[in-house]
Structure 1
């Protein structure tokens, strides 16, 4: 019997240290709850003291002052270079053109003939210096002027009763017209007549030409010197009956 008790006492295991720590923590927790329930003010003062002992003051980091980097040196101005002097340029000497003599015109004829030619005088129609022809000589009695103004009509056909009665009566001619080309001399009279734009009545157009010699009068055309000269004139005859 004694051997059995001894064997039991020798074989009993020891408690685990962690189990002992856990039992202590449980008892401390129960003790803390009882004290907080019975004296809450005392527990709060003790907690504040403990917390203040472990309070760590953390200060904000100081702001770093930005460092301004110096601007890079662009370099100093270099020494001025030598002034460029343009090389003188001379224009080429122009070539002198050899003056060519114009051919000498032929001398005028010195003959005694009075026919047309380049003589100094004569009565032909050539380019003589003077004479009685109608050419372009220095002087003469010919009518070779050019009209600078037109003839001015001062009297037209007034006797319309001389017009023949066309087919269909005079009413068929009302509103029609004929244009004739007249040649007016230096005295303002008609010397030639031709139909330029006819009317539908040929017989009446012929009478217009005949009456233009008898009744139409003009202030003649004049050249640059104011002399009366022949000139053409286009005359329109309108029919009212």
Structure 2
């Protein structure tokens, strides 16, 4: 038969002995705490004193070293490098502009107006037939123009080219609406003699014909530009009246 295993029994006995010993120690500590508390304090005081640690206050850091003083050679060098006093300001010499030369040109003689009922500069003589300029008989008769300009030797603008004399320039469907009426326009004539703008100042009964008259006058008319007292070409306003007459029947 195999021998019985004795290790578990020994282990159990050892555990029981340790437990009994712990109970005895706990009972002794309890009795001391109840009947002799001063004895317990005396026993624990060395342990508590051993745990207390005194922390030393750190010493302040040493002061920074003083800044080095400049040597005499550096002081001399800085004194020598000082800025020089400001220089004197230069005053420009006054220069007078030359007096402008004024050239007064002799204005040309005004053109001779044609003989007719028109009494405004730029009007042509009276005539008969379709498209006659001035006061004429026909469905596309033109009108008279007026220039602008001040006195004192100034010269007004003069129309030298371009006319509106054909009835085909206007729409046929509004013919009866505009016959017997007239439109007055104001042309802005540039210094080069070309119209640059047109404004209707006296409309007729046909607004479409008024607009066409402005377009035709701007594109066809050319002028001798107006001049000021010094003889220089200047911008001016030129008035033009376009009339539509009913043709006479014999």
TM bin (shorter chain): 0.3 to 0.5
- TM-score, length basis structure 1: 0.37
Q: Which has the higher contact order (CA 8 A, sep 6+)?
A: 2
- TM-score, length basis structure 2: 0.36
